[in-house]
């Protein structure tokens, strides 16, 4: 976000990076209000949260790759990646 990657403001909608911890707390809150799912439901939720965690990491990595590099000494690999992008 400090380098210009700020999400657009959309009132009433979540428009930021996905946070698995926030989704887990929302799920627990919903389960406490309604009822807890069975074993398969909890396993599916755990897999989904792990996938959200990986997706967040990939999004952060892609933003890092797309940012212009600082004027530090470049490596051959970083030149290739910037050339492809």
pLDDT for 14-45, tens place per residue? 666 777 888 888 888 888 888 888 999 889 98
Is residue 72, in this structure, part of any structural domain at all? Answer: no
Can you give the three-state secondary structure of the chain, one letter per residue? CCCCCCCCCCCCCCCCCCCHHHHHHHHHHHHHHCCCCCHHHHHHHHHHHHHHHHHHHHHHHHHHHHCCCCCCCCCHHHHHHHHHC
Is residue 7, in this structure, part of any structural domain at all? Answer: no
Is it the case that residue 48 has pLDDT exceeding 70?
yes
Question: What's the total number of domains in the chain?
Answer: 1
Is residue 6, in this structure, part of any structural domain at all? Answer: no
Is residue 20, in this structure, part of any structural domain at all? Answer: yes
Percent of the chain with pLDDT over 90: 9
pTM flag (> 0.95): no
Domain around 45:
16-27+36-66
Is residue 81, in this structure, part of any structural domain at all? Answer: no
Is residue 77, in this structure, part of any structural domain at all? Answer: no
């Amino acid at each position: 976000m400090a380098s210009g990657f700020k999400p657009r403001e959309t009132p009433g909608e979540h428009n930021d990076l996905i946070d698995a911890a926030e989704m887990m707390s929302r799920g627990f809150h919903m389960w406490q209000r309604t009822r807890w799912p069975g074993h398969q439901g909890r396993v599916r939720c755990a897999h989904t949260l792990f996938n959200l965690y990986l997706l967040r990491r990939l999004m952060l990595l892609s933003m890092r790759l797309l940012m212009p590099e600082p004027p530090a000494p470049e490596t051959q690999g970083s030149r290739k990646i910037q050339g492809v992008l």
